[in-house]
Structure 1
């Protein structure tokens, strides 16, 4: 069944009284950051093909948690167990920092949190981050929680859909989502072009967002008006995080055709999102895209007819942090919000892309 037609003004009018609103955002990365050239030189990578991938990635620096060094200056080889421990320790530190910043930004208190969703793809643990963070932060033990694991870079919007649904069903209650991606806990170093593409791209980062319904006028944050999903079954294997028998650990795989597959389906996904709203692409003032990589961003930009200015925060996050997976779009949203360029009546689109292959979108609006 297709969505019923509703005017843009009605969308915003309804949002004031019923739609969940974003109230605050917070991001965090490890203290250790490296330029692409520093990473190449630290690991003694001289292959010109690999160096070209790193140095032409549109990434200047990334926060990473690298292995410890041996007495001779070489890097320790990390087992899968070492990587899982890094996922937990780095992830908890980043997640806690992002949540605390988000709560401060919201003007709320940790004791106000009634729902917590944690998103991660860089490791598996039970109990999950949600239980560990509730304990670490002293959040009320009756807080409802959800862990979204293994969905990849698109998962931030998948989870935000669940958070918005919970907030809508519990008016006045504060819900949090935090994306925790310790991508340096998911690396394989073997000198191949497959691993080099991945190793040149991802960085460690966490991003948290606070949501409540109704948001009310004057919150400053956008209303979450609607979501859409588009899975591309023919490209289900194009992005994978699976077991590597040769190395005895998990590793990422990115098909070289990913940027073009995602770009080719971006227009279809956007049309679905806007269907029945009365909005056209030209009515969207703000674009918050996942920083998936230079080619992915360029492909989406070209297929949607966006300008470089439209994706300035997306490319800025890629430049300064690399691809921080599921939380990337919140890093971009934080920059958009801090720019103070948003006007009442503006609409925006959030877009994430990841394994499946999947495109997730959200329509947001400011009153």
Structure 2
């Protein structure tokens, strides 16, 4: 058996997952109504997105019932408040599922692209939650929707170097803090897609008395593979809008096809040297990037709708929650209780760069 698979017992295992969203949930029609959007083209983008509801913290109404655009400073304040609220909830849920306590945490890696904080979310959460001040930490900022797997790769390396110690990757995306309001189709596409969400995943290499014996059967993280598409580096970006004096996200209409065209390349690289074929993968946890992105991945990898049922369900219920989307899907897979020892799964995310990130896991 290839070495990458034979040594799975010594590799980091996913021992817990937890998610959280903001309090208010809106249908696409309710968002259109909240901002008084009547443009038929914009309404069509919202209502044909395969999204039913999203969690959002919309700007408050003024005395006339109108929601006005927030300043960049107000959006940064929103990002901080929502990140700490959702992040703390997702972290606690993850540790509970792992059978661990805050006191067991030895490394905390926080991921976000919806705001900049110095000190970062990791330091603020350590203070907010009373985590041990000696807990090591890292913050990954600005890598976009693919960043959850980038972080998982980095923290898997930390975990392998610290057997018996608990590490957590926490993706916190307050997409409401990146919500711009104008009449452009560029903004309409973005505003129709993203929702607030946080997701945490716990890793452990080897055994630990802090965890239950059942966690020994948790899936091992075996391998990662990446693909950067330099010719599409500007196809997804979050940059400064001088007209509105705030950051604004841009999605090129061609991005689903660009991602789809490269999906096969990176998955084949992921499986190279393992002796596995795509047909050997039992579980696919793909980023809920949008209806067209999901369709492009399905077509190019030869997947079924059943393979991406969790991806589609997360998009339907929460929209695109950026870096943590694949963990929302992973949590749904675990709730089904259908995984069996020896089965393989592929995690896949996509984001600015343009990039595709993948990981191979085995139960």
TM category (shorter chain) comes to over 0.9
Q: Paired residue for 1:152, among 141, 144, 153?
A: 144
Map of 1:241 onto structure 2: 238
The answer to whether the aligner puts 1:228 opposite 2:225 as a matched pair is: yes
> After the TM superposition, which of the residue ranges 90-99 and 72-81 deviates more from structure 2?
72-81
Q: Could you tell me which runs of 5 or more consecutive residues in structure 2 were left unpaired when the two chains were aligned.
A: none
Q: Deviations over 1:17-41 (max 9, x none)?
A: x100000000000110000000001
- Rounded to whole Å, the distance in 2 between the matches of 1:339 and 1:127 is 38
The answer to whether the aligner puts 1:254 opposite 2:251 as a matched pair is: yes
Whether the 8 Å contact between 1:21 and 1:215 is mirrored in structure 2 is: no
Q: Pairwise mapping of residues 1-367 of structure 1 onto structure 2 (< 5 A)?
A: 6-7=1-2, 11-16=4-9, 18-214=10-206, 218-219=214-215, 220-366=217-363
- Rounded to whole Å, the distance in 2 between the matches of 1:136 and 1:215 is 29
- Rounded to whole Å, the distance in 2 between the matches of 1:232 and 1:221 is 33
Q: Deviations over 1:55-105 (max 9, x none)?
A: 000000000001111111111330000000000001110000000000110
Calculate the aligned-residue CA RMSD, in Å: 1.1
- Rounded to whole Å, the distance in 1 between the matches of 2:22 and 2:235 is 29
- SS of 2:179's partner is coil
Paired residues, number: 358
**How far off its partner does 1:250 sit?**
0.0
**How far off its partner does 1:168 sit?**
0.2
Q: Could you tell me which runs of 5 or more consecutive residues in structure 1 were left unpaired when the two chains were aligned.
A: 1-5
Relative to the length of structure 2, the TM-score reads 0.97
- Rounded to whole Å, the distance in 1 between the matches of 2:299 and 2:5 is 29
